[in-house]
Each structure stands twice: as structure tokens, then as C-alpha cells.
Structure 1
Amino acid sequence: MQSNGFVPQRTYSATKKIVFWSKVAILTLIVSYIIISLNRQEHDLRSVWAYWQAADWFSFSAFVLMLLTPLNWLLEALKWQILVRRVEPISLLEATQGVLAGLAMGFALPAQLGDTAGRLLSLRSDQRWQGIGAALVSGGMQFFAAVFFGTIALYFQLQSGVQDLSMAQWVLFYVLVALMGLAVLVAWQRHKLDGIQHTWFRRWEKYWAVASHYTVFELLLAFGAASLRYLTFSFQFYLALGIFGIHLPLRETATGIGLVYLGKTIIPAFNLLSDLGVREATSLYIFGQWQVPAPQILSATLTLWLFNILAPVFVGLFWVWKLKLSNN
């Protein structure tokens, strides 16, 4: 039955408006920083394209970089398979389909909504919404891995004494250590989540309750998969740097990569083309301390985005279409 009257349009709350415009402001700052970095070194995007054309795409490094892309997402699928089996046992192929569908849907939808939706649609269980808890734990494991390795990189950065902002960096270091300690404590006391009687917690219990039932072995397996995936795309970053002629000592390279992914993890995501720009701006800032030319850094980071995000998204689009057909 249709209404003949006007339906009042839902307006954003003040909090949503603040969050939205904060993201717009940060995104503007990131894009501005990239442009300023290029102009400061008297380069433009044509320089980036020139490096792309000059790169040896038939080299062994380029071959390995491409080969590691499916391994990257296979490890993510393995992590998802380990965690979602508490809701519904699925094969590694089904887990991969759900992960790629989530990647494609997350390319446009806000926050982690698209990624979670794609994974849940791949499940056949009537209790698929309980998989939200599994998706949160999966994302939390990858977040923890990035913070863990990033904190180690930050420590080596502090020991090198390269930058003048050591006090602020030490504060960040101790904050990250405290957050990791808190995360471990929550994981250790996960079984007590069922005993929380607060109304707000009980209201959403069916979505996150699965997190309280994981064994230590399952959590360690999931963290192992997250760590291997982190090391995989970090090695891809190392290969991409070499392809575009960036050859720093191993310690500086590893530290820089760890700090880049730490920054990408803790900086708010915009999901504009899967947060394109955050990695680039962070890389320009981190590797700028070693006087690495901006076009080479941008060429390397855009290569990672093309191989690890854009290419799998096209595969994921097929599975999004399949999931829609099988669930209508």
C-alpha cells in the first residue's frame, strides 16, 4: 500500500555529520599531501607513469609479486574458514569466494559493511548473522597483526634516532603496547562475554556471542594466518620497491614497510576505492626521511593497490553476482 503523503526524509545525526566531515577533511589532507610532495620535488603523475613504463615487468621480482597476490587472499580465506566454522563449516573454496565477494562489496560500501556482507552472503546457514562476530574477530586479528609488527618497526625507528619527534613516537609506542596488552586480556577473558548483563550487550549478543566460544588453538591458528598474510604483502611491498629502483638497507626497508602498514591501519579508512591514498601518503612521509623520490614511492604503492586490491575485486564481482542469484 502506497502512502499519498510526503514521507519525511531521515536526517543525519550530529555525530554522523561530524564523522562524515572529519573523513572528508582527512581525505583532503591526504590528497593535498601527495600533491605537495610531488610538487616539492618538481614531479607530477606523468613521472609516475614514466617509472611504470620503464619498469621491468618480466623480471623475477615482478613474477613473484604477481604470484603472491593469490596467496595473500588465500591466507585471508584460510583465516575466515578457521573462524566461521563455529557458525557453519565451509570449504576453503567457499571461504575464498566469500572473502573476494566481500572485497568487491567493500570497494564502495562504508567501513567494513561491504566486506562483512559479502562474507555472510556466502553462508547457507539460517544463523548466518551470527557470522558477524566471526567477521569482527577476523578483522581484529589482521588489525592486531599489523599493530604488532608495526610496533616492532616503530621501536627500531626510535632506536635509529632518525627523526626529531622521538617523544611523540615514544608515547605512540607505549600506547600501542598498552592496546595490544588490552587486546590479549580481552581474548584471554573471552568466555566471560556471555556473563555480561548490560542491556546494550544483551541486545547485540547474537551477533558477537560466537567470539566467546573460540578455543586458544583456534585463535592462535587465526593469528598465524593473519601474520603470514601480513608478511606476504609486506614482501610484495619490498619487491615493488626494488622493481622501481628503491634499494635501501634491509633494516631501513623493513622498518619503513612496517611503519607504512601501521599508519594505514590506525588512520581512519574512507573506503574510497578501498582507501586508495592512505598507503600512498603514509609511504611518502615514511620513506621521505631517506630521500626516496616521490614518483618511485607512488609507483610502488599504486602497483600494490592494482595487484592486491583492484585485480581481486574484478574476480570478487563475479562472486557477488553469483551470491545475489543464489540468495534471492
Structure 2
Amino acid sequence: MQSNGFVPQRTYSRTKKIVFWSKIGILTLIVSYIGITLNRQQHDLQSVFTYWKTANWLSIPALLLLLLTPANWLLEALKWKILVQRVEPITVKEATQGVLAGLAMGFALPAQLGDTAGRLLSLRSDQRWQGIGAALVSGGMQFLAAVFFGTIALFVQLQFETEAWPVAQGVLFWLLVLTMGLAVLAARQRHRLVHLPIRWLQRWEKYWSVASYYTTTELVLAFSAASLRYLTFSLQFYFALLIFGIQLPLRETATGIGLVYLGKTIIPAFNLLSDLGVREATSMWVFGQWQVPAPQILSATLTLWLFNILAPVLVGLFWVWKLKLSTN
């Protein structure tokens, strides 16, 4: 009788190919959209460099953008500290080191593998891999914060439509509401969901079972940290817009930022330089409805990426090196 062991391997290999080519397709569409938009407005990347050269980097918005960068990642570290304490009690400093190491490793590795590995390898406990559940909950909290505020932004946007809600946006709104409802239900049933009666999952249960032990207070605190972090990098986005002379009414600005981060959250990630390109394409599409020139919005989003991702990654490389030294 033919062995069944090869069937899952073929299925897994086929799934990996589908996911890979899907990501390549989405990446191609994003890059093409950015290129076509710039070409349609008769601008090129040289215009972006011109905006960078002429920007006032000593202005108050630029200084505030810089000062909020450590606050951004400190809030992420605080969220991680709250959740990982079920595996190993750590200080805020140790949590920050783990977060930055994970950010650096996640810069190149697929999905959230690098981010999770960096955080777990920074722990000292022999049971560090049980922190996978903590990492999943941490990422889930940030996802829900983006969905929550993005749903509000989408609702405000739809309220100002002159006609009936567009079908696609209306469907998206109710899907987001359903997603949040399911998330709340999953949180309430977390003790049951972790221990699913599925035999092939039970062998891995110990790695995420920590998620079932969180109290309601811990989950609320973690979501609060995620929400504060969301508001922090949203404020950074606002300052980046000001640096390059993009001044819209408050409603349009807040709605636009919320929709951009919503798009970045729900669009499948490819982890090419930490999703570089997703925010840019989404921003050009969202702010384009208010006739914001493409080079200006591209300059703002790339600046945000440099401050919030690239700079912390360079710091995180030091902690990745420390991880290597400590595991030899």
C-alpha cells in the first residue's frame, strides 16, 4: 500500500508556491501602481529627493517625529512585557532589546518568523519557545488596534459620501465589524480555543497554550498599549505630512491616516524590507482623492519608514549580534 506520508508534503509544497507567487503578484501590482501614478503626474523619484533636500529637518514637526520614534517602540516593548511575563518575567529594558532584535531579524525573514524568533531568543528561560503564544497575542493586539481605528476612519469616510455607500466599501466595513466581534468572542473563549480536540494540533499545544492563561486585565492592558502605539505612529504620520507641506483639514488627515494603516494591515504582507511599498501605494491612493501630489506623499511615507523602521533596525542589529554571541 502506498504511504500517505508524501501527500502532506506535496500539499505543503503546492501551498508554499501559491503563497509565494501570490505575494509576487501583489508586489508587482504595488510597484506598478506607484510607477504609473508618478508617471501620470509627470514626476519621478528625483522629485522625491528634491523634496527631501528642501525639507526643514530642524522644524518642530521633524523634531517631534524623531522624538516619538523611541516612544513608538517603547510602547511595543511594554506590550511585549505584559504578555511574555507568563513565560518569563523581564524588565522593560530586556523587552525593548527583544523587540528591536525581532524587528531586525524580521527585516529579512518571512512572515512574522524573524520578529518572533528575535523576541524568544532574547529570553533566558529554557521554556522560551512557549512564548510563541505571547508573540501571537502581541501581534494580534496590534492588528486589532489597526482594524478598530481603521473601521472608525472608514465609517467617517462613508458618512461623507454624497450618494449611498459604495458596495465594496460597505461590505468591507461590515467585514471589519465582524472581525472585531469574532476577536472579542475568541478572547472570551480563549481557555477553550487553545485546547482544541484536534490530535495533530495537540503536539504543538504547549507552544501557544500560554494564551489561555491571560486574565482580562492583562488583555485590556495589552490592547491599551497597542492602541497608544497606534496613535503614536499615526501622530508621526501627521508630522511627516507637515514636513513636506501637506496640510489638509483635520477630518481628511485623520481619516486618511486611518485608512492607510488599515490598508497596510489587511493587505497580505511579503516582508520585503518590512513591507516597504505597501504603505506608500496605499497612501498615494487614499490621499490622491484630495489631490495631494504623489511625490509629496511618497516623500512623507518613505521618511516615516526611515525613522520608524530602518533606524530601529540598525539599533536592533546590535542585539541580534548579542543573541549570536550568547547562543554559541
TM-score > 0.5 by shorter chain: yes
Maintained 8 Å contact 2:195/2:209:
no
Counterparts of 1:142-157 in structure 2, within 5 Å, are 142-157=142-157
Maintained 8 Å contact 1:99/1:119:
yes
Deviation at 1:191, TM superposition (A): 1.5
- TM-score in terms of structure 2 length: 0.95
CA distance 1:201–1:169, change in 2 (3 Å)? same
Between 199-208 and 271-280, the greater mean CA deviation after superposition: 199-208
Structure 2 equivalent of residue 235 of structure 1: 235
Structure 2 equivalent of residue 34 of structure 1: 34
Structure 2 equivalent of residue 182 of structure 1: 182
Q: Residue 27 of structure 1: SS of its match in structure 2?
A: helix
Structure 1 CA distance for aligned equivalents of residues 320 and 162 of structure 2: 47
Structure 2 equivalent of residue 279 of structure 1: 279
Structure 1 equivalent of residue 5 of structure 2: none
1:216 aligns with 2:212: no
Structure 2 equivalent of residue 130 of structure 1: 130
Structure 1 equivalent of residue 47 of structure 2: 47
% identical equivalent positions: 79
Maintained 8 Å contact 1:48/1:299:
yes
1:259 aligns with 2:259: yes
CA distance 1:163–1:70, change in 2 (3 Å)? farther
Structure 1 CA distance for aligned equivalents of residues 203 and 32 of structure 2: 43
Deviation at 1:200, TM superposition (A): 2.9
Maintained 8 Å contact 1:193/1:209:
no
2:61 maps to amino acid: S
Maintained 8 Å contact 1:147/1:262:
yes
CA distance 1:133–1:33, change in 2 (3 Å)? same
Maintained 8 Å contact 1:103/1:114:
yes
Deviation at 1:203, TM superposition (A): 2.0
2:223 maps to amino acid: F
Cα deviation code 1:96-150 (max 9, x no counterpart):
0000000000000000000000000000101001000000000000000000000
TM superposition outliers: structure 1 runs of 4+ over 6 Å: 162-165
Structure 1 equivalent of residue 247 of structure 2: 247
CA distance 1:215–1:16, change in 2 (3 Å)? same
Deviation at 1:162, TM superposition (A): 6.6
1:305 aligns with 2:305: yes
Structure 2 CA distance for aligned equivalents of residues 140 and 273 of structure 1: 21
Counterparts of 1:308-323 in structure 2, within 5 Å, are 308-323=308-323
1:222 maps to amino acid: A
Structure 2 equivalent of residue 73 of structure 1: 73
Q: Residue 268 of structure 2: SS of its match in structure 1?
A: coil
Structure 2 CA distance for aligned equivalents of residues 184 and 224 of structure 1: 15
CA distance 1:162–1:270, change in 2 (3 Å)? farther
Structure 2 CA distance for aligned equivalents of residues 48 and 315 of structure 1: 26
Structure 1 CA distance for aligned equivalents of residues 165 and 291 of structure 2: 18
Cα deviation code 1:229-271 (max 9, x no counterpart):
0000000000000110100000000000000000000001111
Structure 1 CA distance for aligned equivalents of residues 94 and 320 of structure 2: 13
CA distance 1:191–1:162, change in 2 (3 Å)? same
RMSD (Å) for aligned C-alpha atoms:
1.4
Maintained 8 Å contact 1:157/1:255:
yes
Structure 2 CA distance for aligned equivalents of residues 310 and 118 of structure 1: 16
Maintained 8 Å contact 2:236/2:304:
yes
Number of aligned positions between the proteins: 319
Structure 2 equivalent of residue 4 of structure 1: none
Question: Unaligned regions of 5+ residues in structure 1, if any?
Answer: 1-9
CA distance 1:59–1:85, change in 2 (3 Å)? same
Maintained 8 Å contact 2:186/2:193:
no
2:32 maps to amino acid: S
CA distance 1:84–1:44, change in 2 (3 Å)? same
Deviation at 1:167, TM superposition (A): 1.2
Between 158-167 and 239-248, the greater mean CA deviation after superposition: 158-167
Question: Unaligned regions of 5+ residues in structure 2, if any?
Answer: 1-8
Structure 2 CA distance for aligned equivalents of residues 275 and 194 of structure 1: 30
